[in-house]
Each structure stands twice: as structure tokens, then as C-alpha cells.
């Protein structure tokens, strides 16, 4: 399953990068997540864990509606990250729709705001066996700056939701802050 999702991600990423047209743009991003928070409910108790730093790769395809508004879709692949104090790892693969709005009064800085919402697939490390799991809602808010016609920097807060359990699935939520460097095609 993990190999299939990895191959599917890169096929979709190549498709996004090869489909750019005059009114649209493709962006590839490399993200660094300095850490995050994982929460889950086990036996009726809400438990929280810290998550070790991680890396993600994303591809986005945006259409220009006017000078200040772009909308599109994207996919992100999070490399496996480990839960602190546990011998377990996980990753999410979100598929999302997004909106990018140029910040008011930012003619010299080229700053913008982003909003994302979609569905993400949860994948567990092979060291975790016997759990039934599933994906869930993904959403995020961010701010960025276009450095020039090819590069951008972005900061984003996002939440990945999933389900995990033996018989009855419980919430499995991962909240993180991400710094990303992007290249526009």
C-alpha cells in the first residue's frame, strides 16, 4: 500500500507539472515541519503526543481568476514521521482544493494568503500492526511571499484528521506548522 501511494503521488505530481497553460501555473514545494501535535482517543481518554520533525513534498495547480485571486488543487506527500516516546510512525497524503488571495496593500512585497480544504489518506508505519485506520478531513491556512517569478516562501498551519482503532475507530488528529520553499513552473 505504501509503495502504491508513493507511486500514485509522483504520477499525479508529474501530471500537475506537465499541464501548465497560459492561464494557470504549477508549483512544486518542499516543506519542513519542525514538529507537530498528535491527539487520539483511546478507551475514552484523549491522549496527546509530540511528533518529531518531518519533510513533505507538494504539487499544486492554480488557475488565475484575476490579479488577486487564484484557485486550484494540490496533493502533498508527507514522509513518515515518528511519534515522540513511541516506537510508531505515520504519514498523511492530503488531496485538497485551495484558494490563494493576494494580500491587500502588498504591491511591493507580493504577499498572499492561502486556504486549503480536502481529504487525506492516513498511512501507518509497518511497525504498527493490527490497527484498522482510515483518512479524513484536511484543512490549512497559510501566508506566503512570491520572491520573484519562479520562487516562493510559505508558512502554513494545517490539521490532518484520520481514524485509528482495533474494532471501533477513534479520532487520529495531527496538527502541524510547515515552512515551505516553492518553485513555479
In this model, does residue 79 exceed pLDDT 90?
A: yes
Res 2: pLDDT: 56
Q: Which tops the pLDDT comparison, 35 or 117?
A: 117
Number of domains comprising the chain: 1
| Proportion of the chain above pLDDT 90, given as a percent | 48
Q: Which tops the pLDDT comparison, 48 or 15?
A: 48
Q: Is the alpha carbon torsion for 83, 163, 36, 123 positive or negative? A: positive
In this model, does residue 95 exceed pLDDT 60?
A: yes
SS3 180: strand
Burial group, residue 120, by CB count within 10 angstroms (0-12, 13-18, 19+): buried
Q: What is the DSSP string of 108-136?
A: TT-EEEEEEEEEEEEEE-TT--S-EEE-E
Q: Are 133 and 122 in contact (CB under 8 A)?
A: yes
Predicted confidence (pLDDT) per residue in 152-178, tens digit: 999 999 999 998 777 777 888 999 999
Where in the sequence is the domain holding 11, given as residue range(s)?
Answer: 2-184
Distance CA 17, CA 75 (A): 12
**168 vs 40, 70, 125, 153, CA distance in Å?**
13, 41, 20, 41
Return the CATH number at 176: 2.40.160.20
Q: Are 172 and 163 in contact (CB under 8 A)?
A: yes
Q: Are 26 and 16 in contact (CB under 8 A)?
A: yes
In this model, does residue 73 exceed pLDDT 60?
A: yes
Distance CA 50, CA 2 (A): 23
| Proportion of the chain above pLDDT 70, given as a percent | 82
Amino acid at each position: 500500500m505504501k509503495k502504491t501511494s508513493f507511486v500514485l503521488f509522483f504520477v499525479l505530481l508529474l501530471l500537475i507539472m506537465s499541464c501548465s497553460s497560459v492561464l494557470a501555473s504549477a508549483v512544486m514545494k518542499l516543506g519542513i515541519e519542525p514538529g507537530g501535535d498528535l491527539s487520539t482517543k483511546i478507551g475514552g481518554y484523549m491522549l496527546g503526543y509530540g511528533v518529531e520533525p518531518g519533510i513533505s513534498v507538494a504539487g499544486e495547480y492554480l488557475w488565475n481568476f484575476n490579479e488577486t485571486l487564484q484557485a486550484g488543487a494540490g496533493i502533498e506527500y508527507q514522509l513518515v514521521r515518528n511519534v515522540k516516546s513511541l516506537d510508531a510512525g505515520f504519514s498523511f497524503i492530503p488531496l485538497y482544493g485551495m484558494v490563494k488571495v493576494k494580500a491587500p496593500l502588498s504591491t511591493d512585497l507580493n504577499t498572499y494568503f492561502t486556504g486549503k480544504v480536502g481529504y487525506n489518506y492516513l498511512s501507518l508505519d509497518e511497525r504498527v500492526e493490527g490497527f484498522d485506520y482510515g483518512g479524513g478531513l484536511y484543512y490549512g491556512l497559510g501566508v506566503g511571499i512570491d520572491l520573484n517569478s519562479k520562487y516562493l516562501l510559505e508558512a502554513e498551519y494545517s490539521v490532518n484528521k484520520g481514524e485509528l482503532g482495533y474494532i471501533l475507530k477513534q479520532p487520529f488528529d495531527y496538527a502541524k506548522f510547515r515552512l515551505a520553499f516553492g518553485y513555479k513552473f
